[in-house]
Every structure is written in C-alpha cells, then in structure tokens.
A and B are shown apart, each in its own frame.
Chain A
Amino acid sequence: MAFFVSTMTKTLRFLSVLILIVILPLPAFAQEKVFGEDTLKALYSYKFALFTEWPEAKLNDGNASLEFCIIGRNPFGQSALDAIQDKPIKDKSIHVEMYNSGVLSDESLNNCHVAFISSSELQRLPALLNSLQHFSVLTISDIPGFSRHGGMITLIKSGDHIQFEINPDAINQVGLAISSKIIELATLVKTTKQGHE
C-alpha cells in the first residue's frame, strides 16, 4: 500500500511539473518574433546586402560567392552565422569570411562585398574607414556613431528593438546604391566627425 501511495504521489508530482513546464513558456513565445541580438544583426546585414547594388565589375568577378567579411573579433554566435551562411543574393550565395585579427590585405578587402566591423575595432575605426573608402564595400557596424564617422550603416539597439542609421553619402561615394525602401526606414545621417582625409 505504502508503495502504491508513494508511486502515485511521484507520478502526480511528475505530471504536474510536466504540465506546468509545457504551459508556462507558451505566452512568451506565442506573440512576437524573438531573436538573439547577434542573430537579428546578422539578419539585418543580410537584408541590407539584398537591397544593395554593387558596380557591375565588382559583381561579375567570376566568384560564385558574395563575401561577407567580419573584421575584428567575431561578434556573431553560430546560429546567427547559420542564419545567413549560404543564403542567396543576386545569383550568388553568402560566404562568411572572418578576419579576427582585424588585419586584412587590400587584395582580401577588395574581395569583400560586405564588411561587418566588430566593436573590438572601436579605437581604430577612423583608420579602418580611411582604408575602406577606396573600395566598393558595404560597411556595417554596431559601433555607436559609425555612420557619423563615415561608415555606411549603423545598427543601434534601442530598448528591445534594433534600429539603424544610414549615411547615404558614404554609400554613394564608393559607387554603391541602396534601395529607397531601406532608406525610408532609416535614420539618415551625414559624416560629421572628420577623422580621415
């Protein structure tokens, strides 16, 4: 008898825990799309690339991949990278290339279509942008003030959401064009902090 009661109690306890666990998380996941910060930033970057036009010569380089370069310490987790790796853009597919040391040759840089500049490169940002302005590379970063320093797109965390700033002049200067659909949704800024030239 005692055995029966204890088994019952155990089963009941187990069931109640199971039910609690299954029901509790429901509301949290049901309503909004929820992402890790890095995944959302990666998806944004992919979207920006999708709406960007590169010069004909840069795109017809005979390479089947669209190079997505990460400069500096990789801020993306694997699920963020998985979300964009091999995804199609203009008959090409995204290939992620990491330059964790933050150093890359002109040759490598010229191969990049998109450069995501990690926050680890904060202090050398002006020097980086100075080098990058000679190439048709879409520059994206989450370093605050990136676009005001001459970068193209800045991802800004505001509360629970991520918004973005765009510096259209910086984009046009290197022969790129970004769709008005993106421009309309962005906060537009100009290069105000001179650090290069």
Chain B
Amino acid sequence: MLKSSPFEVVLITKKIIRWISRILLWTVFCYAYPVNVLANEPEGLDKLSIEELMGSKVISATRTEQQLTDTAAAAYVITQDDIRRSGATNIPEALRMVPGLHVARISSTKWAISARGFNGLVADKLLVLMDGRSLYSPINKGVYWDIQDRVLDDIERIEVIRGPGASVWGANAANGVINIITKHSADTMEGSATLFGGDKYGAGLRKGWQFDDQGYARVYGKFLRDESFANRIGNDTNEEWTSGRGGFRMDWANSDGKHALMAQGDIYYGVYNQNDAKNQDIPSNDFSLNRTVKKGGNIMARWNYNQSLASRMTAQFFYDAFQENQSLNRSLNSETVDFDFQHVLAVNEAHELTWGFNYRLSLVQLKPFNSGIAKEYFPKTFQNNRFSVFFQDKWRWSDDVEITLGSKFEHHNNNGFEYEPSLRILWKAANQHRVWAGVSRAVRLPAVTDLSANVFFENDPNLKQVFEFNQYQKLKSDEVVSYELGYRYWNSDSFSFDVAAYYNQYNNNLVANNEFSDLFPEQSIKKSTTLGLEAVVAWHPVDWARFQLSTSFINMEIKSIRKIPNVSPETTSQDPRFLWAFRSSFDIAPAVEVDFWLRYADSASGVLVAQAIPSYVTLDARLAWKLNKNLELAFIANNLNDSQHPEFYDGFTPNPLQAERMFWLQGSLKY
C-alpha cells in the first residue's frame, strides 16, 4: 500500500488539473475549425433534395438526451452510452454522473446517496424505482445499494428527478426520485459477455431470444467481487464483498398491440466481511470482521392495456423478499407485496389526466443477536399497510404554458392519512428557452427503525442493546414543503445549460418526538431549511469530444433540540456544501475512446473531529479500444490522483474508511 504525503497529493492533483485544462484548451482550438464545416448552414438543410438525403451518410454520434427539456422539474437522464463510458461496474457508481446527486462510498459494501441534503447510509428522502418496482427498504427507511444491480448493458437509461416527486410516486419521494429503466427484451437479442479484473473483478453474461412473433426474453447473470478500502493509516481493512445474481425479463404483446405483458425477476446472494466498530489505527491486518450474508429476490409482472390512442392503462404487481443474516444470529427479514394501477387519459386537446391507486403490504421481522438481554423486545414482526390514490392533470394552458397539478392521498396504518400535492408550471419562454417553477409537499413515512434502534455502550462494544420506543403513540411523518425554480437553455445539440434553485422547509417530526431523543443526538432535529442551487453545462463541440461541467451548492440550517452537552450544534449535516464534476469524452481515433472524470467534494463535518470528511478531488479515467464490431477492451482507473481518501462516515467505525486508487481491465463481447 502506497501512502502519499499531503504535499505529494497536492502536487499530483495540481499536475492533473493542469493536464486536463491543457486538453480542454487544445480542444477549443480543434473545434474552431470543423464546427463551421459541420454547421452546414442549417438554414439550407431543408433545401436538400430527397436524392441528396439518400446519398447522405449517418454518423453514429450519440446525442444529448433531449426528452426532458419540457419537464417542469430538475431532471437528468443517464443514457446507456453514458454508463458505458463512465467505466461504472454497478448502479451506484453510474449515479455519480448525476449533477446535484451526492454519491459517496462509505466502505466496499456501503454507499450514501441522496439529493438536496440529508445523506446517510440509508438516505431516507430519496425514492428509487427499477422498472416501476420500489427499491425503498421497509426495514431501514432507505435503499440498500449493495443489493441493487444489473448487467449494466441491460439498462436503457436512468432518469433522476431532484426535488419532490410525491404527487405521483408517493411517500418518501421527498428529495428526489431515481427511475432505473431496463431495456425492452426486444433490444437485448444479441448476447453480451463482460469480464473485468484488477483491483476488483467480476463478470456479466446475458442471452436474449425471441419466442413468439411479438414475444422476447432474456436471462442474465452477474458476479462481482470488491475488496477495496483502507483505514486511516493506509492499511487494508480486509473488507470483502462477493455477490452474485441472476434474473430474467420477458416481454410479450398480442397481435393487435392492445395488450402487452412484461414479467421479470431476480435473485441475489452476497457475502460481506464488514469492518465494523474496530480500532482503525492499528497497523496490523488483524481486524475482527462482521460477516453478513444478504440474499433475496423479487418477481414482478406488468400488464399494459392500450384501450385507444387516447387511453392507456397499466396494472402491475410485485413481490420482494429480503434477508440479512449477521453474525451472532441476528437477522433482518422483509417481505413486500405491491399492487399498482395507473390510467393515462387524453381527455381533450388541453388535458392529459393520469390517475391511479396502489396497495402495499410489507412485513418486517427482526431477530435479536442476544436474547439474554432483558431490555430487548424482539423477535417481532411489524406489519405495514399502505393504500393510496393519486390524480394528476397536465394542462396545456396555452401553446407556451403547461400546468401540472396533482396530489397523492395515502393511508398508512401507523400514521393515518397523508396528502402530497404538487403544482408545477412550465413556460416555453422562447424556442430553446424553458422556465419552470414548482411548489410541492412530500412526506417520509415512519419505518420500523423509527420504532427501535441499536444503542452502543462506549466502554464495551459487545454490549449493545435494542430499545423499542414510540410504540404507543401515533407517529407523525417527516414533511417537506419545497419551492423550486428552474431554467434551461440549449443551442442545438452542441450546448445546453440547466439550472435549478430550491428552498425546502422540513418538519422532522419523526425523530423530534421520540422518547429517546437524548440518546440519539444526531437525530434529534426538529426543523430545518435547505437552500440550494444546481447547475450543469454540457458542451458537444465536435462529434469526437463532449464535456460536461456540473456543480451544486447547498446551505442547510438545522434547528436542533439536542440535549447532549459535548456535541456541537452545527455538525449534524454530513452533506458537503459544494460538489463539482467535470466529465470529458474523446474519440481520439475511430476505434479509441478516452474519458476523464474529475470530481470535487467539499468537506463535510462529523460529530467528532476525527469523523469529519476533508474535501477531496478525485480523477477517474478510461481508455477503450474497439478491436472489432463485437469486442471492446477498456482500461479503467479510479482515484488516479489520490492513493486514498474518505468519502462518507456512517458511524459504524471509529473513523471513516477510505476509498483507494484502483485499476482494472475490462473486456466486453457482443455475440
């Protein structure tokens, strides 16, 4: 393990930044000439004859995604091509591309991902869906990122909306919604095999086929092993993560296209050695590890009924099961059953109405690690019933103004009735200029972990106790009222600019009212406000070069009611105030691609000084060579400029674990 001194780190960082700016400068010069040729005086394009069109050549350049230009929300899309060029090997890594999304790796098996603040090991205000199936865990008020994966080539796109999406998606979509959309199985007829190895290794395999005139299917399998991460003084933490998964998707439509069916399912199994609660400063490799097994699966079916051009209905069902077995026979189990119906109806030229209902039942069972301790109430099964209806009207008020008004109404067996309204306005100010604004309210519903918690006693890490609280009172949901304003400009495909500002007011009722707020100082927040700005500039000057610069800023004001004296009052937020990212992609030869990805995260405070995260700069790079139509080889580097740095602290270790520099080679075959 190489350990650079801070001086070296600064030097290397400076060098790399200089290098990048040089590349950028060169490109500016390069582009000055050919762009004029490419522009092809657009005025004259419509004068081309049909014969000239037939003689024209198509370049397979990828274009900037434009679907969301008319969305009245802070939206961003990651395309399949973005994923490929990012060098990501799993979904959380791909999400680092989203401007304004704070993606931080805690350890080799854990991520913290959130938008607009309140990030954590399980960020409770971000809702994530995969093909319409909610990934939000009923156990731990958030998403377990380590169990969400796919063969990345099977993902068509990832749509991210920062800000509340609760009027349609419902509870917990308070700060953002991520929609992971996998490819239709008609688009995965060719087989794909990916193999990578180096500082981490893995393999993915997919096979698709057609079984009917309008029926397609695919199966996939994926294996991943990652043992990166070091402790503060550069020793390997012995963390290990091995996971395997497999699944299928099939799509079928009847001959008149009125009915379409989609079914998919996955199973997964992962073995974790997690370095929890151990002294990080010892030089030996002798850590005691917490061995965890996570396994589970899900199955879903969706029926689309195209009643007419003006009316379409979707009914969907999914079942999801999850089990986590930790050392000392402690286990967490959850099962979810969900039924969803949606109807999109174009009433007339001006109104597009969407309405639907949803029922979800989740069961959570927690087993104690030591039944000898009297204070424990477990094992116990928690049952959670949720029923909701929503409606939304998209009203084309005029040619230039579109108003979207809607609300979700939910009933939850713990805290009764909730409403989540939203009003959004899109103004097509001019061709290529859009202004939008929105006001919405969203909630975060109580989860099992709002009713119980682990408490560690400092002197003896083996003496943990489980408390149950709040069980005799009705919990009020966390709520947020959000005010948003955004502007987009684009000049053809070569340049776009997108900026969004927000002001959010939170009432964190859940943690404020609990009986044990003295014991959980970091949670006893009552009210908070966030004010933030997110901006992204994309520039595609020539076919062979693309750049994207993004930044986000957040100012959090947290009014806490903490009662523990030695905790400073302003340290609750673990969110960096500033994030910067610069991505550049070059096709330096017809078969050679080079990608650079530079990211900066501002420092984030911790409850104790040793737990704070210093600011960091990190550079990822990818060099890929297409040997032929079917085979691609890539060399990928992560944290090129830095031997190690911490990204987030989750409270399980005495101080944060550190992400290391990594290299790997990847081969992808299409057959």
Does A33 lie within 8 Å of B257, measured CB to CB?
Answer: no
Q: Please tell me which stretch of B50-58, B141-149, B577-585, B620-628 contacts chain A, meaning at least 4 of its Cβ atoms lie within 8 angstroms of it.
A: B50-58
Q: Are A36 and B63 in contact (CB under 8 A)?
A: yes
Is the pair B42, A32 in contact by a Cβ cutoff of 8 Å? Answer: no
Q: Are A106 and B57 in contact (CB under 8 A)?
A: no
* CB <8 Å contact, B346 and A108: yes
Partner of B492, one of A40, A47, A78, A127: A78
A7 at the A/B interface (Cβ < 8 Å)? no
Residues on the B chain within 8 Å of A37, using CB: 58-60
Q: How far is the CB of A20 from chain B (nearest CB, A)?
A: 9
Q: Cβ of B61 and Cβ of A36 under 8 Å apart? A: yes
Closest CB in chain A relative to B166 CB, distance in Å: 20
Please indicate the chain B residues that have their CB under 8 angstroms from the CB of A130 in the complex. 256-257
Tell whether, in the assembled complex, residue B253 and residue A124 are in contact, meaning their CB atoms are under 8 Å apart: yes
Contact between A185 and B493 (Cβ–Cβ < 8 Å)? Answer: no
State how many angstroms separate the Cβ of A23 from the closest Cβ of chain B. Answer: 9
Q: How far apart are B566's CB and chain A's nearest CB, in angstroms? A: 54
Which residues A48-67 have CB closer than 8 A to chain B?
51
Using A79-B492, A103-B344 as known contacts, say yes or no to A43 and B309 having CB atoms under 8 A apart.
no
Query: Can you give 6 contacting A-B residue pairs, CB < 8 Å?
Result: A36-B61, A43-B48, A78-B66, A126-B257, A127-B257, A128-B306
Answer whether residue A12 sits at the interface, using C-beta atoms and an 8 A cutoff.
Answer: no
Residues of chain B lying within 8 A (CB to CB) of residue A29: 34, 37-38
Chain B residues contacting A191 (CB-CB under 8 Å) are none
The interface on chain B, measured as residues whose beta carbon lies within 8 A of the other chain's beta carbons, has a size of 63
**In the complex, which residue of chain A has the Cβ closest to the Cβ of B70?**
A98
**CA A142 to CA B493, docked complex, whole Å:** 21
Interface segment, one of B97-105, B108-116, B347-355, B653-661: B347-355
User: Is A17 part of the contact surface with B, judged by Cβ < 8 Å?
Assistant: yes
Q: Which residue of B lies closest to A30 (CB)?
A: B37
Say whether B37 contacts A36, CB under 8 Å: no
| Chain B residues within an 8 Å CB radius of A90 | none
Quick check: is A131 within 8 A (CB to CB) of the other chain? yes
Does the CB pair B257–A123 fall under 8 Å? Answer: yes
Taken together as a complex, chains A and B put the C-alpha atoms of A158 and B547 apart, in Å, by 30
Interface 0/1 of B10-41, CB less than 8 Å to A: 00000000000000001001100110011010
CB of B670 closer than 8 Å to a CB of A: no
A21 within 8 A of B: yes
Among candidates A39, A81, A181, A185, residue contacting B54 with C-beta atoms closer than 8 Å: A185
Establish whether residues A107 and B256, one from each chain, have CB atoms under 8 Å apart when the complex forms.
Answer: no
The verdict on A105 contacting chain B, using a C-beta distance below 8 Å, is yes
Residue in B52, B59, B349 whose CB lies within 8 Å of A108: B349
Contacts of A43 in B (CB 8 A): 45-46, 48, 53
Q: Mark B47-79, 1 if CB is under 8 A from A, else 0.
A: 010111111111111011011011000000000
Decide if B439 is an interface residue (CB 8 Å cutoff).
no
The 8 closest A-B pairs by CB, nearest first: A126-B257, A131-B309, A77-B63, A105-B346, A123-B253, A127-B257, A127-B306, A79-B492
C-alpha gap A35/B44 in the complex (Å): 14
In contact, A185 and B57 (Cβ under 8 angstroms): no
B66:A104 contact, CB within 8 angstroms: no
- A77 with B344: CB separation less than 8 A: no
Residue numbers in B under 8 Å from A28 (CB-CB): 34
- Do A123 and B493 have beta carbons less than 8 Å apart? no
Known A-B contacts A36-B58, A105-B310, A106-B309; the reply to A195 vs B37 at CB < 8 A is: no
- Considering the chains assembled together, what is the distance between the CA atoms of A82 and B46 in angstroms? 10
- Majority DSSP secondary structure for residues of B touching A: mixed
Which residues, 84 to 123 on A, are CB-close (under 8 Å) to B?
84-85, 87, 98, 100-109, 111, 122-123
Write the nearest CB–CB distance from A43 to chain B, whole angstroms: 6
Assuming the A-B contacts A46-B46, A78-B493, A109-B309, are A161 and B349 also in contact, with contact meaning beta carbons closer than 8 angstroms in the complex? no
Are B26 and A35 touching (Cβ within 8 A)? Answer: no
- B200 contacts the other chain (Cβ, under 8 Å)? no
* Cα distance A132–B54 in the bound complex, in angstroms: 28
> Beyond A40-B58, A84-B46, A103-B309: 14 further Cβ-contacts under 8 Å?
A18-B29, A34-B56, A35-B57, A36-B58, A47-B50, A77-B63, A77-B64, A77-B493, A79-B42, A85-B431, A123-B214, A127-B306, A162-B58, A181-B50
B258 at the interface (CB under 8 A from A): yes
Q: Which of B40, B60, B310, B432 contacts A103 (CB 8 A)?
A: B310
Complex alpha-carbon distance, A73 and B79, angstroms: 14
Q: Indicate whether B184 reaches chain A with its CB closer than 8 angstroms.
A: yes
**Distance (Å) between the CB of A144 and the closest chain B CB?**
10
Q: Could you tell me the distance between the alpha carbons of A39 and B493 in the complex, rounded to whole angstroms?
A: 11
Q: Are B352 and A101 in contact (CB under 8 A)?
A: yes
Q: Which residues does chain B contribute within 8 Å of A101, judged by CB atoms?
A: 312, 344, 352
Instruction: Tell me if A83 is interfacial: C-beta within 8 Å of chain B.
Output: yes
Task: Flag whether A38 is at the interface (Cβ < 8 A).
Answer: yes
In Å, the complex CA distance between A25 and B509 comes to 62
**Contact status A107-B349, CB under 8 Å:** yes
B466 at the interface (CB under 8 A from A): no
Any chain A CB within 8 A of the CB of B490? yes
Known: A43-B45, A108-B346, A123-B253. A34 touches B59 (CB 8 A): yes
Q: Are B42 and A126 in contact (CB under 8 A)?
A: no
Instruction: Give bound CA distance, A105 to B346, whole Å.
Output: 5
Q: Write the chain A residue with the least CB distance to B34.
A: A25
Residue A170 CB within 8 A of the other chain: no
A80 CA / B526 CA spacing, docked (Å): 51
| Minimum distance in angstroms from A75 CB to a CB of chain B | 9
